[in-house]
Copies of this chain bind each other. A is one copy, B any other.
Amino acid sequence: MRVFLKIEYDGTNYCGWQIQPNGVTVQEEIEKAILTLTGEKVNLVGSGRTDSGVHAEGQVAHFDTDSSIPAEKFAPALNGLLPDDIKIILSKRADDGFHARFSAKRKTYRYLAYESEQPRPLYDRYMTKLAFKVDDKKMDEACKKFIGTHDFKCFLASGSQVKDTVREIYSAKVERDGDKICFTVCGNGFLYNMVRIMMGTLIKVGEGKLSASEVESVLEKGERINAGATMPPRGLTLLSVEYD
């Protein structure tokens, strides 16, 4: 039986999703809990990696099991074994042809930042501090330039080996709620660090260091140096992964 999991995690204390030699990861914690529950050493396949410190409200993963536990009971049973900062929101039986990574059609990410002179302890876990005010209207205008099919190599972390850097962005918006700035973006896939560099570029626009039309030429030129900084992971959350 193939089992579908929807997973929420606070990434603060993890070295990201994917198992690695040094540091505890989310995938590892869930595989350990499945081993305890079923006695099976499964390979948990996620929709994609999230970086160290990045959160997820709706990560999706699948695994195959011979266990007789009904698929929908994996959520409560695994939650009893998992740490407080990783929980399964939903488990259900998946078709044998379902693949968390290859079947994924759309992913939505959110990046949160806040404007404040002094750091805010109640904001800092899930948002990045901006020491200056930004123009959210201009940022919203600029992020519309991301929509469509583009080569996003200017938003790729340097050193990455990926070859196909073309992605399609379906929607993008920047909204203000008081002193909080929220960037939400949905696309068919994202390059390594892409959302964090997109946000860094939008911050440059919000500061007045780059115009919305210049964002278009940053994309066209395709050089990492023209884009903004890679924003810290704490502000980033993988909101959802959608399938047909």
Measured between alpha carbons, how far is A58 from B10 in the docked complex, in Å? 25
Measured between alpha carbons, how far is A89 from B79 in the docked complex, in Å? 37
Q: Does A122 contact B (CB under 8 A)?
A: yes
Q: Does A128 contact B (CB under 8 A)?
A: no
Q: Does A75 contact B (CB under 8 A)?
A: yes
Q: Which of A80-88, A165-173, A220-228 touches B? A: A80-88
A87 x B121 contact (CB < 8 A)? yes
Q: Which residues of B contact A8 (CB under 8 A)?
A: 120-122
| Identical subunits present | 2
| A interface size (C-beta, 8 A) | 25
Q: Does A208 contact B (CB under 8 A)?
A: no
Q: Does A152 contact B (CB under 8 A)?
A: no
Q: Does A125 contact B (CB under 8 A)?
A: yes
B85 x A121 contact (CB < 8 A)? yes
Measured between alpha carbons, how far is A129 from B122 in the docked complex, in Å? 19
Binding site for B on A (CB under 8 A): 8-10, 55, 57, 75-76, 79, 84-90, 116, 118-122, 124-126, 237
| A–B Cβ pairs within 8 angstroms, 6 of them | A55-B122, A75-B118, A76-B118, A84-B121, A84-B124, A87-B121
